[in-house]
Amino acid sequence: MRQGLRQSAKARLNTTQRVDPKIVLGSQLLQMSGMELEQAISSELLENPALERIDDFEDPLTIDEILKSVAPDELKPAGADREAMRSLPNDTPDLDWLDLTASSDSLWDHLIAQLKVRLDESLWDLATYFVGSINERGYLTCTVEDAALDCGASLEQADEVLEALRSCEPAGVGAEDLRECLILQLRNATTDAERLARIILRRSWEELVARDRRTICRVYEVTEEIADEVFDVILGLNPFPGEAYSHQSGGHTNRHKTLPAQPDIIISLEESGYLIEIPGPSPIHLRVNPAYQKRRKEITGKRDTDPAERRHLDEFVDRANRFLDALTQRRQQLARIGKHLVEQQGGFVRTGEYRFLVPLTRSQVAKSLGVHESTISRATAGKFVQIVNGDVVAFETFFKPALRIQKMIEEILESENPNSPLSDERIAQMLAEKGVSVARRTVNKYRDRTKLLSSRLRKTG
């Protein structure tokens, strides 16, 4: 009797531990990037004869099919929003890999075009992540670990892409700090002075910054003339390799770069309000094979049907319906998140100005939408959003509280007088004037995190 009870309890436990395959599939599709989703759809079409792509047939979509799958989220604009809408350009250029290859108008387009021909297609997501993490001076603002984790790749793959990035032009791009930037520019040293300069950069950085010629001459047993030649080589290097591209058009730095990435959410502002679109694969382009549906209906309730045929029809028709439902839920979930971003980050979404970013966490979004935090994490990891001004930004941008201050510091330093650079104390005062209260040491921390030099080293006069 006890054994029977134990078996019954075990059976109930096993039943409660089963996970609904529909939920598993929904989570998997939600986490995928656009490229991964295309691959998943192609695989499903090959494996499931009950699923077919409507594009391959002449049957037109009915209005009911379209309305069932597409429900764009719109918000009515306020008066300020209407004014912002009127000031927007009439057209936004479409992002395309071929266009990026032919374009050299920006540093990021130039880099992605080079990496495309150097890397396998499977590494393009990593390439996009790294290039998107290059600031306007050409420095890298993420770690290899961050890139590997966010892109679901190995550290070896991330290292491979980073090495390829650092071999791109302009020389020195992708460095983490000034020292590494200068060393990268001497990677292909050809003269004795260049080789010695590379060694000194590696081993005697402190003496070099202090312009201590005497110590360098003694350590490397060279004359002052040779030391001067080495100093000339180093001073001839470019400390900010990305700035040449920032000044190519109009002679001023463009503070808002467009990442060479395909957006997973597109937010636009029209006369009727905000429009949230989910580009890429859509369930309206897929359907359950009508022949399978018809045959399954015919055998329903009949006892003389071949069991193997019944199992085949049930398995693949149900599987096709689950896939279509999961695809629809993915689009609906991304649209809800996009709507929430408009509501919570409206200033940044409209203008792209980082000073309008407000603190926001994934757990807050999850609570507002009534879902688990892991759902928001899966939906946003490694994905991008195209905001109203045409910029494509990583989802991560909306969940980094420190990013607002970092970007504001960068913008302040971009407009400073190079002959009289601002101190950290003065930067803190200017931030306070803009409503952001931070201590001087906080400015120093953020400036160091973004690889910006101190005022003494920034001085050029």
The winner for highest mean pLDDT among 16-20, 76-80, 350-354, 421-425 is 350-354
Going by C-alpha positions, the residue among 443, 331, 294, 247 that lies closest to residue 70 is 331
Selected residue with higher pLDDT from 88 and 275: 275
75 lies in some domain: no
* Tokens (6 digits) for 261: 């990435």
Contacts 24+ apart (CB under 8 A), 308-312: none
Same domain (yes/no): 407, 373: no
Same domain (yes/no): 328, 272: yes
Helix %, strand %, coil % of the chain (to 5): 60, 5, 35
Same domain (yes/no): 329, 433: no
CA distance 250 to 120: 35
3 lies in some domain: no
| Antiparallel, parallel or unpaired: β 384-386 and 392-394 | antiparallel
347 lies in some domain: yes
Selected residue with higher pLDDT from 380 and 431: 380
Range(s) of the domain holding residue 311:
21-67+262-398
Model pLDDT, residue 445: 64
Selected residue with higher pLDDT from 401 and 269: 269
At 372-405, the pLDDT tens digits run 888 888 888 888 999 988 888 888 888 876 666 6
Going by C-alpha positions, the residue among 458, 350, 449 that lies closest to residue 140 is 449
Could you check whether the bond before residue 170 is cis, i.e. omega within 30 degrees of 0?
Answer: yes
Same domain (yes/no): 321, 386: yes
CATH number at 450 reads: 1.10.10.60
Name the domain count of the chain.
3
140 lies in some domain: no
Among the candidates 398, 414, 437, a domain finishes at 398
Q: Which residues touch 131 (CB under 8 Å, ≥6 apart)?
A: 108, 111, 112, 115, 165, 259, 260
Same domain (yes/no): 291, 358: yes
Same domain (yes/no): 394, 412: no
For 167-207, the DSSP string reads TSSSTTTTBSSHHHHHHHHTTT--SHHHHHHHHHHHH-HHH
Same domain (yes/no): 364, 412: no
416 lies in some domain: yes
Among the candidates 367, 383, 398, a domain finishes at 398
State the average pLDDT for the chain: 76
Task: Read off the DSSP letter of residue 370.
Answer: T
At 439-461, the pLDDT tens digits run 767 666 666 655 454 545 545 55
Look at the pTM and tell me if it is higher than 0.85. Answer: no
At 199-236, the pLDDT tens digits run 988 888 888 877 788 888 888 888 888 888 888 888 88
Same domain (yes/no): 225, 269: no
> Residues 416, 418, 420, CA angle at the centre, nearest 5°?
80
Same domain (yes/no): 282, 326: yes
Same domain (yes/no): 420, 392: no
Same domain (yes/no): 324, 448: no
Same domain (yes/no): 215, 337: no
* Alpha-helical runs (H) found in 356-458: 362-369, 373-380, 401-414, 424-433, 440-449, 455-458
108 lies in some domain: no
At 109-167, the pLDDT tens digits run 888 888 888 888 888 888 888 888 888 788 888 888 878 887 888 999 999 999 999 99
Among the candidates 381, 398, 415, a domain finishes at 398
